[in-house]
Structure 1
Amino acid sequence: MRLLVANANTTAAITEACAAAARTAAAPGTEIVPATPRFGPAVISTRAENVIAGHAVLDLLAEHAGSVDAVLLAVSHDTALDAARQLMPCPVVGMTEAACLTACMLGGRFGMITFGGVEMYRELVARYGFDQRLADIIGVNATPPEAVADPDSVGRKVLVAAQALAAEGANSVVLAGAALAGFDNRLQDAAPVALLDGMACGVRMAELLVALRLPKSRAGTYAPPVGRQALGISGALGALLRGDR
């Protein structure tokens, strides 16, 4: 199968980090296709950037519609996940939703580690219905570019946060940040609980959905749009809105 690993920001180094983590987790025969948007924010850390990135990632997905078997959003805000599931003819997985679902299957409450502010992640967890399972979220004092440039230093901060979350009762910890892709393998031996990377969890869930061969919904709010019109967007995205692809 061909799995599109779609970043929603324009930092190519983060795309490559996510693709590397995806390849490590992928089963034999799964081809990882990394992709970076042609426009949008360098890093998503505000509501405004997340909305802009939503357009950017939908534009990116439209370019690959029909040529991949599944999509994994390599963005920890799961940017435009619902819209992508409606538009794309294949399964679409959000990396943070996948990690949270995995945490729930491990049992008990889970913690989350991210960069800086945490409120948008609390809202995301609540939107998925997992707020009662969430022990706490810790925002480490680091940035995604720092995670790429100096993973050892950022890794030490992440490990301290994981230990604190375990002390609060978390039975597992979600690493919520595309730039943290692969940090589960880097830090797991020193961590007191399971560390869940959304890329690793998302790859396996995408493979499962493809193997199940479930049909695309033809009714309800996730049915593909038909006959919708828009100005100023790419031809590929416009074709999906019209139902031409």
Structure 2
Amino acid sequence: MKLMVINPNTTTSMTDAVVAAARTVARPDTTIVGGTPADGVAGVESHYEEAWGALGVIDQVRKGEEQGIDGYVVACFGDTGVPAARELANGPVVGMTEAALMTAALIAHRFTIVTLPRRTIAHSERVVQALGLGHRCTVRAVDVPVADLAEGSAHLAEVFAAEARREPDAEALILGCAGLTDLVGPLTARLGMPVIDGVTAAVPMVEGLIAQGLTASRVNTWRHP
């Protein structure tokens, strides 16, 4: 099967990082390609930028359908453009936020998201509430711009660890941005709990849906436009 990991912003180094992470968990016979919008914003840190990001997701899905892509992962916390992508794509579309939350719900009673910057807390909470997990998940944030992740996030390990420790009842940590994948190992060691990256959680879900012959229901909500 052939999957596309879509980065809704225009920062190609971030696309490269999430594609590399996706390949570490993909099946040997799965091909992973990246999708980066030619136009839009360098990072999604506001509702305005999220609207641009959603247009970028739609554009990449259109191109993916022409290339014979079997399924998609949307690599932006808050699942930018996922509902529209589901309507457009023939194969399954999984957002990294819902994938991370569903994974956490299987392995921990209570868990926390640490996202960035603080103004995007609402984006995470939207998905938490949509999945009915508000009673099990809290959302925290550090005031670091997405641009600081363009060359990796290892330098932020202790900042994220300190924020996660503010939730003493949390039994797992969800990383609230696609650019944080290289924090999984360092934070697992620091915190002694499962640390979940949404992109690597989403890839096996898409593969599983394809293997079962499943995609978005066309009965009503996600009918093709």
On whether the aligned pair clears a TM of 0.5, the verdict is: yes
The one-letter code of the counterpart of 1:84 is A
Larger mean Cα displacement after TM superposition, 185-194 or 100-109: 185-194
Alignment of structure 1 residues 13-24 onto 2, 5 Å: 13-24=13-24
Moved beyond 4 Å, runs of 4+: none
The equivalent residue for 1:25 is: 25
Structure 1: gaps of 5 or more residues: 226-245
How far did 1:74 drift? 1.1
**In angstroms, what is the RMSD of aligned CA positions?**
1.6
Structure 2 residue 146 is matched with structure 1 residue 144: yes
Residues 58, 81 of structure 2: 8 Å contact kept: yes
Q: For residues 186 and 20 of structure 1, what CA distance do their matches in structure 2 show?
A: 18
Structure 1 pair 171/59, CA: closer, same or farther in 2 (3 Å)?
same
Alignment of structure 1 residues 55-204 onto 2, 5 Å: 55-66=55-66, 67-117=68-118, 118-134=121-137, 136-149=138-151, 151-165=153-167, 167=168, 169-204=169-204
CA deviations over 1:111-140 (Å, ceiling 9, x no partner): 001112123322231122211111x22212
How far did 1:42 drift? 0.8
CA deviations over 1:3-34 (Å, ceiling 9, x no partner): 10111011111111111111112121111101
CA deviations over 1:80-112 (Å, ceiling 9, x no partner): 111111110000010010000001111311100
Q: For residues 150 and 197 of structure 1, what CA distance do their matches in structure 2 show?
A: 14
Residues 115, 177 of structure 2: 8 Å contact kept: yes
Structure 2: gaps of 5 or more residues: none
Query: What TM-score, normalized by structure 2, do the two folds share?
Result: 0.92
Query: What TM-score, normalized by structure 1, do the two folds share?
Result: 0.85
Larger Rg, first or second structure (1 or 2)? 1
How far did 1:155 drift? 1.6
Structure 1 pair 215/14, CA: closer, same or farther in 2 (3 Å)?
closer
How far did 1:204 drift? 1.0
Give identity over the alignment, percent: 32
Structure 2 residue 53 is matched with structure 1 residue 50: no
The equivalent residue for 2:213 is: 213
Residues 147, 154 of structure 1: 8 Å contact kept: no
The one-letter code of the counterpart of 2:39 is F
Residue 135 of structure 2 aligns to a residue in which SS? helix
The one-letter code of the counterpart of 2:31 is E
Residue 132 of structure 1 aligns to a residue in which SS? coil
Q: For residues 200 and 9 of structure 1, what CA distance do their matches in structure 2 show?
A: 19
Q: For residues 184 and 11 of structure 2, what CA distance do their matches in structure 1 show?
A: 21
